Amino acid sequence: MTASFPALRLRRTRVAPWSRRMVAEHVLTPADLIWPLFIADGTGVEEPIKTLPGVSRWSIDNIAKRAKEAQALGIPCIALFPNTPQHLRTPDGREALNPDNLICRAVKAIKDAAPDVGVLTDVALDPYTEHGHDGLVDAAGYVLNDETMALLVEQAVVQADAGADIIAPSDMMDGRVAAIRAALEEKGHRNVQIMAYAAKYASAFYGPFRDAVGSRGRLKGDKRGYQMDHANAEEALREVAMDLAEGADTVMVKPGLPYLDIIRRVKERFEVPVFAYQVSGEYAMIEAAVAADMGDRDALVLETLLAFKRAGCSGVLTYHAAHAARLLGA
């Protein structure tokens, strides 16, 4: 009998849930997630962030509780960002070098509470400067590269001394990865990783983050003089190549979903662990859609996170980390 349809039916493997699981090309697990957390001064503090519904700033005692939560959920790593008190913000961001600052105290608290959870710390001056830039600024408003880099090196060593497992320079100064790697080696921190924000774009998606760390409204000008132009892709590959040559262990693309093409090109070119930051604006858009009854949170979160894995990511920094881990562990 002549078949009335081609022998190959691609839908066959899609019919049953067990079959879909069996042939899935990519799998998302809690181990793929890094949970960004915001630190506030004080004790017993939980400050909801208006532009990031469901996200709060936590005092250090509560950050330690979040670390235990991450451990229970199977989330391997936490990323920390401070909301530095106003009186400690200066033109040169010197609070970044204080071994007793919010970041360093939070790292120590996490290591006491959940020693098996990795801690990633941000290296940049914008949470500490009164002008909101990632580095030192001259009289003309130009962010100084080499002078900033010297402070970033000190900042990285202070964080490593506190117990940070991954140093993540997000400043986009040229040459900073090599300088930080040399300093970490010299100070005996040979096993502290560097995850370079290698392709960090000057993006419109960062607004809620700046609210979270208290830098919105402080910024004089913009960051297009050092963060990447979103028109460029080949330049991202040059940035990644430079950071890897200078000693980065892993690299990051930021933002996430609008730059899946960059993630794919980086992974295919370099075959190294690539991470993406699903940034605050991306998170806020999902939450706004849910609030407007325009989408299901669970489905949106899991679909977007799996998109990063499909593009080639080893992991994702996401504010939905705890929620996603609960869904994946259910």
Is 47 part of any known ligand binding site? no
User: What distance in Å separates the CA atoms of residue 296 and residue 321, rounded to the nearest whole number?
Assistant: 16
CA geometry: angle at 182 spanning 179 and 187, to 5°?
125
Question: Residue type at 151?
Answer: L
Catalytic residue list:
200, 254
Cβ atoms of 16 and 34 closer than 8 Å: no
Percentages helix, strand, coil for the chain, rounded to the nearest 5?
Answer: 45, 15, 40
Give phi and psi for 251, each to the nearest 5: -130, 160
* CA gap 222, 126 in Å, rounded: 12
The two tokens of residue 81 are 């960002």
Cα angle for residues 182, 262, 26 (degrees, 5° grid): 100
Q: Are 93 and 152 in contact (CB under 8 A)?
A: no
d(C-alpha 229, C-alpha 232), whole Å:
6
Helix (H) or strand (E) holding 118: strand 118-123
DSSP annotation of 129: B
Distances (CA, A) of 254 to 114, 120, 151, 317, 318: 28, 16, 23, 10, 11
Binding-site residue numbers for Mg(2+) are 239
